Structure 1
C-alpha cells in the first residue's frame, strides 16, 4: 500500500457543497462501511490525480489521513466529468487487511510465442480480460497469469487453469468458466471448407446432344 491521501471533513453535503469543493480545487468524496456512519470528505484534486497516476488508486486499498488519524480504505468508485475527464467524486469503503472484498483483477496472457495452435495460424480468443474475485483487502493480486504456451487449436483455458493466491476465490463458483480459447483463423476455416468439397459432389456439366438432321439415326 503506497498511496496516502490527506482528507478534510466536509460539514456541508449536497450538490451545492460538492460544487463549492470543486471550485476550491478539491474532489468531494464519502467514507462509508464498517460499523461507523458515512463521512463526507474532500481531497485535493492534484493529490487525487497523482494517486491515479500510480495505478494503485482505483480498486486498491489506500490510506486516508485526517488530523493525524489514519484509516485504511478501498477506493470503491470514482466518478469522472464527461468532458474534462477530471475526477468529480470518490467513494471510499472502510476496510482492514482482512476485510473480504470483491474486486476485478486483470489477466495477463503469457506463452503466446510458444503456443502450437498460434504457431499454426490460430487466434487467441480472449473471453475475459479480468476476473472478479473475493479476497482480503490487504492481499489484492496485482494480476493473474494465464499460460497459453501449450494450447492447440480448439483448446480452452478455464478458471481452474489459473493459479489463485491463498485467500482469493472467483465470485463465480457454479461453473468452470472460460478465460480464453485458441480458434482457427477465418482464412484457415474457409480453406478447409473448400478442401472438404469432394469432386464427386460437383454435378457434371452435360454436353449438348448432337441433333440428327438427316433422319438416318446418325448424328
Structure 2
C-alpha cells in the first residue's frame, strides 16, 4: 500500500544524543535511513510533516517517499519512538525499498459475513486468536487488512490462514503450519440449549422403550 506521504529530509551532520536534542529544539525529528545497497545515513525530518503523516494512520508499514533536494526515495517506516510523557516523536527508523522489495509487516484481520454464519446466528461467539497476521509482502502491495470470511461456519469450526485470500505476492511469515486465526465457540446459552435438547431426546427414547415394554 502506498500512502502518498512525502517527507522532506536533510542529512544530519552530527550523531549522538547532543545532535538529536539540537534537532528537536528546531522542531526536527532525528532518524536513520538504512537498507538496500547503501550505507545507513543519519537524517532529520520536518516535525510538522511527521505529525501530519502520523495522523493519516498510514505512517507505519506503508510505502512513503523522501524528498532530498528534489530527489525522491521510497521508504517504509520500521520504527517510531515517542516521548513517554509528551508523546513527542523522538526518532524514526526508515528502510529503503522499491515496489518489489519483500518486507515483513503486521496486517490486521477483518472478519466479514457474520450474518451468513449458522453458528453466529445461533448465538455463537467468535474467539479471535490473531487480530493481525505477519505477512511477507511486496512493499508496493501492502494491504490495509486481510478478510476472513465467516460464511457457513458453525459452532466448533475454525478459520485457518489457508482459508484467507492474501494479496498477490504475499505469504504468511509463519510457513511451517496452517495456523488458526479464529474459532467459533458456543456461548453458555447455546450450550445449555443443546444440553437440554439432548436431554429431551434421551428422555423421549427412554419413554418409548418403557411404553414398548408395557405393551409386551
Task: Give the superposed CA RMSD.
Answer: 2.0
| Greater share of helix | 2
Larger radius of gyration: 1
> 2:86 corresponds to which residue?
84
Determine the C-alpha separation between the residues in 1 that align with 2:199 and 2:19.
72
Query: Could you report, residue by residue, the CA deviation over 1:22-44 in whole angstroms, capped at 9, with x for unpaired residues?
Result: 11111111000111111111111
How many residue pairs get aligned? The number is 200
Q: 2:14 aligns with which of 12, 28, 33?
A: 12
Name the SS for the 1:50 alignment partner: helix
Q: Specify every segment of 5 or more residues in structure 1 that has no aligned partner in the other structure, as ranges.
A: 199-219
Where do 1:122-201 residues align within 5 Å? 122-189=124-191
Determine the C-alpha separation between the residues in 2 that align with 1:115 and 1:196.
23
Contact 2:122/2:190, CA 8 A, preserved across alignment: no
Name the SS for the 1:52 alignment partner: helix
Higher relative contact order (CA 8 A, sep 6+): 2
Name the SS for the 1:3 alignment partner: strand
Determine the C-alpha separation between the residues in 1 that align with 2:36 and 2:189.
56
Where do 1:64-103 residues align within 5 Å? 64-103=66-105
So what's the TM-score if we normalise by structure 2? 0.86
Determine the C-alpha separation between the residues in 1 that align with 2:19 and 2:174.
40
Q: Specify every segment of 5 or more residues in structure 2 that has no aligned partner in the other structure, as ranges.
A: 201-216
Determine the C-alpha separation between the residues in 2 that align with 1:119 and 1:196.
20
Name the SS for the 2:18 alignment partner: helix
Name the SS for the 1:151 alignment partner: coil
So what's the TM-score if we normalise by structure 1? 0.85
Determine the C-alpha separation between the residues in 1 that align with 2:175 and 2:25.
46
Determine the C-alpha separation between the residues in 2 that align with 1:7 and 1:97.
21
Where do 1:16-31 residues align within 5 Å? 16-31=18-33
CA drift of 1:113 comes to 2.2
Q: 1:62 aligns with which of 51, 61, 64?
A: 64
